[in-house]
Structure 1
Amino acid sequence: MSKLRHGIIGCGLISTWHAYAINELSKTMPIQLVGAADVRLESARDFCAKYGVQAYETIEDMLNSDEIDSVSICTPSGFHANLAMQAAKHGKHIVVEKPMAITTEQLNALEDTCKQNHVILTSISQMRFLPNIQRARKAVQGGELGKMLCGDVYMKFYRSPEYYGQSNWRGTWKLDGGGALMNQGIHGIDQLLYIMGPVKSVYARCKTLARKIEVEDTASVVLEYESGALGVIQGTTSVYPGYPKIFDFNGELGTIKMEEKHFIEWKVKGKGTPSDIVFTRADPNGANRPDGNDMGEHIPQLNDFFCSILENRPPMIDVKEGRRPVDLILAIYESSRTGRLVDMKEFANRG
């Protein structure tokens, strides 16, 4: 095999992020985007004409092809797990967009299927690869802020009624898996977990206050981390005009505040700002746009994925890592549904 040959399943908005990253990486790596498939053949043909690759008649044709080594799954969330399992059974390595699955049963089955078929899977959590996120994790985990007291994220996004009306899957439990947290908020939750560490318990209230959808458009969550620190998650798609994500990390000795991936405050008792910390601000309009993320942010994670195949090693974000934010969101929904605090270990054991 001279090159890793990659295909894309699902030719909606996010597929362009994957195509861009693969084409950029192909300039220095032995990889190639060779085709795409979609349940709507016309969408696949339009996408493939843009990138000069093959449009497969069906997803099954792509998975059966000996000319495909790996795939990106860029469909609506409710199809992620089943398509990933189909790909695994065909021996294809897998990149799956967030969330990798939307139920505990799907998560467990997907983990087992990848293991049984000896394929590599990575779930998109591209924020973990960014230098500022890794620097914040190093500070928190390395004790630069002293004993950690709080770790919070506020994700007050805006999605219009028209956004939900554009398709029959958005805002549904069956195909979106959830709302402000499972769809729009999962990257912020993953970033929070990556920096603060595992959660011990959650108590949540999730409500549909502004949109005519099945799932939550407004949620508030109280966390206790395994470290003993406390935290808050707020997520919305209901707040106009929408705002960038805000992270607060507070220790006994200091505070780090981030706006999306940007540092906006770094104060440690008795010390100046570290020389490697630069203060910048996020795009204020990104929070109300589905396409508000930097297209280049997928490149480091896809680089790690392809290297993991070539080097026969696990990717940085494998199945176990990729499911962490989903497990937490499912526990949040359980707490909101029952009105009770949910212990994460007990919740995992029930699954």
Structure 2
Amino acid sequence: MSKKYNFAIIGCGVIANTHGNVINAIERANLYAVCDIIKDKADEFAKKYNADNVYYDYMEMLQDPNIDIVCICTPSGMHGEMAVNVANAGKHIVCEKPIEITTEKIKPIIEAVKRNNIKFQSIFQRRTMPAAIATKKLIEEGKLGKIVMANAYLKYYRDQAYYDSAGWRGTWELDGGGALMNQGVHGIDLLQWMVGQKVTSIFGRADHLSRNIEVEDTAVALLQFEGGGYGVIEGATTCYPGLDTTFAIHGEKGTIIFSDSGIERWDFIDEDIPRPDAGEKIGGATGATHISSGGHYILLNDLIDAIENDRQPMIPPEEGKVAVEIINSIYRSEREKKEVYL
């Protein structure tokens, strides 16, 4: 029988439940420890997911030699320091999105991962969607020809009570942004990953139009890709009741449009290409508790396989950085009221 890997979770909030469920569902995984600075929260989480070891200080937990992999599920602005400390302790890492809130804070993560020769998996579960994988492959094969437009519509709904539910939500310091950095980062990552071209310039607008928060609840941005095509991002947490996340890719030879509910258009000028399976609905438009766990299952399994075969995981920190750079550039464009060049 192959080795079982001992997982630990730092931060027992909403998204940690997905990690707890997935770890318990993976044959080669064992939820060994959990940690939260709030004692009752950690104790209840450990009991719920059958973890034998409970910690209230993650640095103390990192001294445990039995831990193989650590899932970082804390507020976004805490990820960087924690990831560096986890890497320095020689543990492999699963890190929720975004892996940090600025590219400057991501640089030490990348350095620590390389220096300690550990594996790091960024959580961008939308990359596991069959429609997205098929779209990326067709773009790479030139089946759509030159990409002229690539758009992401990321229209979520979060009420004021959501932001009031935790002190870090909707703050620059720990959330790093709003509708784009917290919710929209998944779709922004997926868009750039599918197109496979560097974003060269951005003109964006982002502000809090409805919610009483520091950061944006509504944003739009125009992107230009290296290949000359344009992209549009519409991101919000103000769109009641929360719409399906939708991607529209238009090339000279065809159009692909898909959303959480499936593939809406799959049209090519010069050939008949079979549609892929729609796959599991990711969800999340109406709340973080409505996100499916299938993508996490694939990514955590992939990390175990990467460790065993000494290869890069599907989404190393270098790739986790790209969406953060795009979002930071949209914020900069809003502040400076002009186009920003990357």
Q: Deviations over 1:143-182 (max 9, x none)?
A: 2122211000111111101111111110000010000000
- The within-5 A match list for 1:88-103 is 88-103=87-102
What is the Cα-based RMSD across aligned positions, in Å?
Answer: 1.8
Deviates most, 134-143 or 164-173: 134-143
Distance 1:234 1:276, change over 3 A: closer
Question: Which secondary structure does the structure 1 equivalent of 2:289 belong to?
Answer: coil
Letter of the structure 2 residue corresponding to residue 321 of structure 1 = E
Letter of the structure 1 residue corresponding to residue 80 of structure 2 = A
Question: Which secondary structure does the structure 2 equivalent of 1:264 belong to?
Answer: strand
Q: Deviations over 1:59-103 (max 9, x none)?
A: 122111111111000011111111111111111111110000012
Partner of 2:179: 180
Cα shift at 1:279:
6.4
Task: Measure the CA separation in 1 of the matches of 2:259 and 2:192.
Answer: 16
Distance 1:139 1:159, change over 3 A: same
Which of 294, 314, 324 is matched with 1:316 structurally? 314
Partner of 1:22: 23
Distance 1:280 1:134, change over 3 A: closer
Letter of the structure 1 residue corresponding to residue 246 of structure 2 = I
CA contact under 8 A between 1:205 and 1:219: conserved in structure 2?
yes
Task: Measure the CA separation in 2 of the matches of 1:281 and 1:123.
Answer: 20
Distance 1:61 1:172, change over 3 A: same
The alignment-based identity, stated in percent, is 40
- The within-5 A match list for 1:249-328 is 249-260=249-260, 262-272=262-272, 274-278=273-277, 286-328=284-326
CA contact under 8 A between 1:37 and 1:56: conserved in structure 2?
yes
Cα shift at 1:128:
1.2
Q: Does 1:13 align with 2:11?
A: no
CA contact under 8 A between 1:264 and 1:280: conserved in structure 2?
no
Partner of 1:221: 221
Question: Which secondary structure does the structure 1 equivalent of 2:194 belong to?
Answer: helix
Q: Does 1:132 align with 2:93?
A: no
Q: Deviations over 1:188-217 (max 9, x none)?
A: 001101111221111111111001000001
Partner of 1:3: 4
Instruction: Give TM-score scaled by structure 2 length.
Output: 0.94
CA contact under 8 A between 1:154 and 1:234: conserved in structure 2?
yes
Question: Which secondary structure does the structure 2 equivalent of 1:288 belong to?
Answer: coil
Letter of the structure 2 residue corresponding to residue 340 of structure 1 = K
Task: Measure the CA separation in 2 of the matches of 1:261 and 1:229.
Answer: 26
Which of 316, 323, 331 is matched with 1:333 structurally? 331
CA contact under 8 A between 2:266 and 2:275: conserved in structure 1?
no
Task: Measure the CA separation in 2 of the matches of 1:210 and 1:268.
Answer: 40
Task: Measure the CA separation in 2 of the matches of 1:80 and 1:134.
Answer: 28
Residue segments in structure 1 that go unaligned for 5+ positions in a row: 345-351
Task: Measure the CA separation in 2 of the matches of 1:304 and 1:43.
Answer: 29
Partner of 1:151: 150
CA contact under 8 A between 1:152 and 1:247: conserved in structure 2?
yes
The total of aligned residue pairs comes to: 339
Cα shift at 1:280:
8.7
Task: Measure the CA separation in 1 of the matches of 2:277 and 2:122.
Answer: 29
Letter of the structure 2 residue corresponding to residue 339 of structure 1 = K
Cα shift at 1:276:
3.9
Task: Measure the CA separation in 2 of the matches of 1:83 and 1:261.
Answer: 36
Instruction: Give TM-score scaled by structure 1 length.
Output: 0.92
Cα shift at 1:3:
2.9
